[in-house]
């Protein structure tokens, strides 16, 4: 690593609604934030064709445009947005301590506060036709995109509580929901299984997996395969929802921050405080319940306010000591 060292007040790691909202609040509070966007500037919303449920956009807006607008708003107040990937961290255990963050294996940032907004990545099946039609009818968020398939026939892949909940949500707006469960049973809680089984327009296919998503530009159908018999079946659908979980982007923070068993950062109570003083987490990196753009933005606001109060408390203590 070269001897590039920069000292800053607030570092924001990751972009997206949480990161950009944190940047807006932090810059308005004169925390002079520097943001590193990561490998996917704008986060998951940059892969979403249309966002219809974020307040303030009566006609809807496409995800990439929304992220560009959030970035411009953050920059208007003084945020410095940089393209770069955090590759190592060394967080201080001391109140008022300096946190060391390495960017692109070459630049060392020394920050008084750090806001982590690296998000989570939806798990996909990783078959070519699915990847090709992401944004063209293949989605990992029924709550985000289900509205666009009102009164249409769709399919959902998954067997846990999230899949059952999203299947129930889709059943309220779609004509029919075909649910593909890889094993001969669901992993969802009994209560969630009962909810799914009691909805007439949900058909559950056990021991069934996706063989191919049909369609050139948009989803037109689904080829399913029974993993016990090898028998294949085609159905006509316009939307395919993948509900097999998310992976929080927290690998680089392991061993430094407290996390749950699946890797989500644990924050204190209703705050964004982590177990390291001066380090805060916002957005999907610490929220596995809601995972919505508006809730991520809300926690981004909270993180900036927590950082501002933390710095103010340190300055107050230093004044008293002086």
Active site residues: 141, 144-145
> Do 161 and 185 meet the contact criterion of CB atoms below 8 Å apart?
no
d(CA 270, CA 282): 11
DSSP string of 178-237?
Answer: EEE-SSSS--S-HHHHHHHHT-TTEEEETTEEEEEEE-SSS--EEEEEETTT--EEEE--
Relative orientation angle of helices 161-171 and 190-197, to the nearest 10 degrees: 30
Q: Is 295 left (phi over 0), alpha (psi -120 to 50) or beta?
A: alpha
Q: Is 6 helix (H, G, I), strand (E, B) or coil?
A: strand
Spell out the residues 6+ positions from residue 220 whose beta carbon is closer than 8 angstroms to its own. 214, 236, 237, 238
CA nearest neighbour of 53 among 177, 157, 143, 115: 143
DSSP string of 238-277?
Answer: SEEEE-S-EEES-GGGTTTS-B-TTSPBP--TTS-B-SST
d(CA 181, CA 204): 7
């Amino acid at each position: 690593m070269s001897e590039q060292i920069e000292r800053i007040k607030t570092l924001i790691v990751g972009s997206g609604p949480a990161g950009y909202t944190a940047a807006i609040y932090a810059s308005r509070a004169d925390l002079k934030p520097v943001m590193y966007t990561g490998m996917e500037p704008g986060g998951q919303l940059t892969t979403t064709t249309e966002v219809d449920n974020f307040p303030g956009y009566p006609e809807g807006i496409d995800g990439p445009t929304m992220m560009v607008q959030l970035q411009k708003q953050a920059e208007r107040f003084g945020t410095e947005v940089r393209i770069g990937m955090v590759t190592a961290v060394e967080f201080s255990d001391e109140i008022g301590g300096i946190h060391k963050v390495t960017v692109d294996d070459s630049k060392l940032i020394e920050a008084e506060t750090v806001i982590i907004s690296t998000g989570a990545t939806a798990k996909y099946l990783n078959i070519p036709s699915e990847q090709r039609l992401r944004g063209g009818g293949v989605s990992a968020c029924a709550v985000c995109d289900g509205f666009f398939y009102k009164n249409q026939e769709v399919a959902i892949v998954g067997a846990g509580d999230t899949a059952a909940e999203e299947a129930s949500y889709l059943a309220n707006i779609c004509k029919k929901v075909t649910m593909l469960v890889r094993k001969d049973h669901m992993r969802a809680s009994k209560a969630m299984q009962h909810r799914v089984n009691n909805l007439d327009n949900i058909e559950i296919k056990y021991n069934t997996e996706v063989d191919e998503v049909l369609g050139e530009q948009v989803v037109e159908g689904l080829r399913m395969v029974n993993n016990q018999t090898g028998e294949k079946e085609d159905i006509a659908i316009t939307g395919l929802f993948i509900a097999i979980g998310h992976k929080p982007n927290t690998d680089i923070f392991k061993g430094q921050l407290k996390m749950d068993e699946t890797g989500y950062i644990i924050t204190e109570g209703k705050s964004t405080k982590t177990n390291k003083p001066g380090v805060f987490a916002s957005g999907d990196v610490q929220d596995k319940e809601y995972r919505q753009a508006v809730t991520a933005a809300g926690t981004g606001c909270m993180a900036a306010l927590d950082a501002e109060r933390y710095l103010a408390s340190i300055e107050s203590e230093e004044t008293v000591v002086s």
